[in-house]
Amino acid sequence: MRIQNKRLINATILLVTLILFLSTLTYAKPFTDLFRGGLIDINDFFTEDGFKPYSKAIDFVFFSFLFIAIYMMGVKYAFKEVKKPERAIAVLLGLMTAFLLVLGEWSSTLLLPYIHWILYFLLFLFYWWVSKFIPNTLRWILNIIMLVLLIIILYSWS
């Protein structure tokens, strides 16, 4: 009796999903119109500067995530142990720092001219981490050479 109930339930689920999938095939719109509600609207949002009214909110969210992450890393060194009160302090500090930066007319777009330097620094740290088995003096020289070569390669491609 139980096996027949399971088969009936499985057959019903299969039938419903088939009907749902087949109903989308009979929709008489061109395939490209499926993107009208999603990707094209997102593209128009950026090309037509639709984000301008929300720029302060976007900056606040960006700075909040950035500084909460930074303060959460710093909490480990400021306090002996990290519990809920210490995490709450880090979150409040991150939100307040973001709030003050937005009030001070700072924007994440001010960082855009320097983003490549940030990426180079992160690449250098990655190279430093990967080459941890090499002695320090040779490690510095090797990492800088690899970073300069990568920068030259990237600029030659563009």
Average pLDDT of 51-65? 91
Report which of 61, 134, 88 is spatially closest to residue 142, judged by C-alpha positions: 134
Percent of the chain with pLDDT over 90: 22
* Alpha helix positions (H), 79-135: 84-103, 115-130
Residue 69: inside a domain:
no
Confidence of residue 68 (pLDDT cuts 50, 70, 90): very high
pTM: 0.56
Structural domain total, the chain: 1
Average pLDDT of 42-63? 87
Residue 136: inside a domain:
yes
Confidence of residue 27 (pLDDT cuts 50, 70, 90): low
Residue 138: inside a domain:
yes
Q: How far is CA 85 from CA 72, 78, 116, 135, in A?
A: 12, 13, 37, 41
Percent of the chain with pLDDT over 70: 87
d(CA 20, CA 51): 36
- Domain of residue 139, residue span: 112-158
The reported pLDDT for the residue numbered 69 is 92
Residue 52: inside a domain:
no
Residue 26: inside a domain:
no
Instruction: Encode pLDDT of 88-113 as tens digits.
Output: 999 999 999 999 999 999 888 888 88
Residue 86: inside a domain:
no
